[in-house]
């Protein structure tokens, strides 16, 4: 299992870095970094169930519009390293970067499978998510159905020799996420978006962690299929019971 994890993460990270470098030659730099904020929590319910919630704000740059979203999902845990989630997202999207008009709503349903291995010195997490989205491209337009798939790979490396993460510990993070559109692709790439990030995290308590990461977002299916880019500094605050093991919060 660990060999499969190593092979998979190496291939995905190499692909992401390589494709990102290739797109950088053809796409704008993305300009100075903007601010992203994410706050998430996992509330335990009866038995193997929990309630996942999340809010995010994503500041616009000259190429990509701002977005604000809230997510709620019902999660079922099988052991400490496998979970299945289904839920709903309400998002509001700017029409264009800096547009003074009211953001347009977006509705999503999603289903995801997550698998984590936190037993070794390098902790690895995989997440596959399907999204059914209803978007409004303009105020006078109706909702358009735009399903997609997302695959997210996340690595956590504790900065301790014993590879543990007690309260007060620092850790490094790296992640890469691919977005694949499932609708019509006339003149556009099947891989619509990529988000590559790396940063530093700190375990505040048994239940809470905070992370600061630099994120590079690229889109290959923007307006008229023009490549777009955004650089961001993302602050993340996460709360979850230790029994709902993640790559950071393990039972002590």
User: CATH number, domain at 149?
Assistant: 2.40.160.40
- pLDDT, residue 68, reads 97
Question: Is the model's pLDDT at 51 over the cut of 80?
Answer: yes
Give me the number of domains the chain comprises: 1
Q: Which of 72-86, 108-122, 176-190, 208-222 has the lowest mean pLDDT?
A: 176-190
Residue 210 corresponds to which tokens in the numbers above?
A: 């905070």
Long-range residue pairs from 154-163, CB within 8 A, at least 24 positions apart, any chain:
154/124, 154/125, 154/126, 154/127, 154/247, 155/9, 155/122, 155/123, 155/124, 155/125, 156/118, 156/122, 156/123, 156/125, 156/201, 156/247, 156/248, 157/121, 157/122, 157/123, 158/121, 158/123, 163/120, 163/121
- DSSP-assigned states of every residue in 197-210: EEEEEEE-SSSEEE
Residue 61 within a domain: yes
Residue 133 within a domain: yes
Residue 251 within a domain: no
Mean pLDDT on 115-141: 91
Question: Is the model's pLDDT at 154 over the cut of 60?
Answer: yes
Mean pLDDT on 64-81: 92
90 alpha carbon, distance to own chain's centre: 16
- pLDDT, residue 5, reads 44
Q: Tell me the pLDDT of the chain averaged across its residues.
A: 84
Helix (H, G, I), strand (E, B), or coil: what is residue 16?
A: helix
Question: Is the model's pLDDT at 22 over the cut of 50?
Answer: no
Residue 249 within a domain: no
pLDDT-derived band at 244, boundaries 50, 70, 90:
low
Give the position of tokens 């996460």.
238
pLDDT-derived band at 251, boundaries 50, 70, 90:
very low
Question: Is the model's pLDDT at 12 over the cut of 60?
Answer: no
Query: If we measure between CA atoms, which residue out of 211, 212, 119, 206 comes closest to residue 167?
Result: 206
pLDDT digits (tens, 9 = 90+) for 197-210: 999 999 999 899 99
Counting residues of the chain whose pLDDT is more than 90, the rounded percentage is: 58
Residue 216 within a domain: yes
Q: Which domain holds residue 203?
A: 2-239
Residue 172 corresponds to which tokens in the numbers above?
A: 């490094």
pLDDT-derived band at 10, boundaries 50, 70, 90:
very low
The residues with which 132 forms a beta bridge, in sequence order, are: 109
Residues written for the chain: 252
Residue 164 within a domain: yes
Residue 91 within a domain: yes
């Amino acid at each position: 299992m660990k060999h499969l994890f190593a092979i998979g993460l190496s291939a995905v990270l190499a692909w992401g870095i390589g494709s990102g470098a290739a797109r950088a030659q053809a796409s704008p730099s993305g300009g100075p970094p903007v601010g992203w904020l994410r706050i998430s929590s996992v509330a335990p319910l009866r038995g193997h169930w929990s309630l996942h919630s999340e809010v995010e704000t994503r500041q616009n740059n000259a190429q990509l519009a701002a977005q604000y979203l809230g997510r709620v999902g019902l999660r079922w845990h099988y052991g400490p390293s496998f979970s299945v989630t289904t839920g709903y997202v309400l998002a509001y999207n700017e029409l264009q970067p800096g547009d003074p008009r009211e953001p347009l709503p977006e509705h999503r349903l999603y289903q995801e499978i997550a698998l984590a291995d936190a037993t070794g010195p390098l902790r690895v997490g995989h997440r596959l998510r399907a999204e059914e989205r209803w978007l409004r491209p303009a105020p006078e337009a109706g909702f358009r159905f735009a399903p997609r798939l997302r695959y997210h790979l996340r690595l956590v490396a504790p900065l301790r020799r014993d590879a543990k993460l007690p309260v007060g510990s620092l850790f490094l993070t790296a992640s890469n996420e691919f977005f694949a559109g499932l609708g019509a692709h006339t003149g556009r790439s099947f891989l619509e978006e990529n988000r590559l990030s790396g940063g530093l995290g700190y375990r505040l308590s048994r239940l809470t962690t905070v992370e600061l990461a630099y994120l590079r977002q690229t889109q290959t299916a923007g307006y008229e299929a023009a490549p777009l880019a955004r650089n961001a500094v993302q602050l993340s605050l996460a709360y979850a019971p230790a029994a709902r093991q993640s790559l950071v919060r393990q039972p002590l």
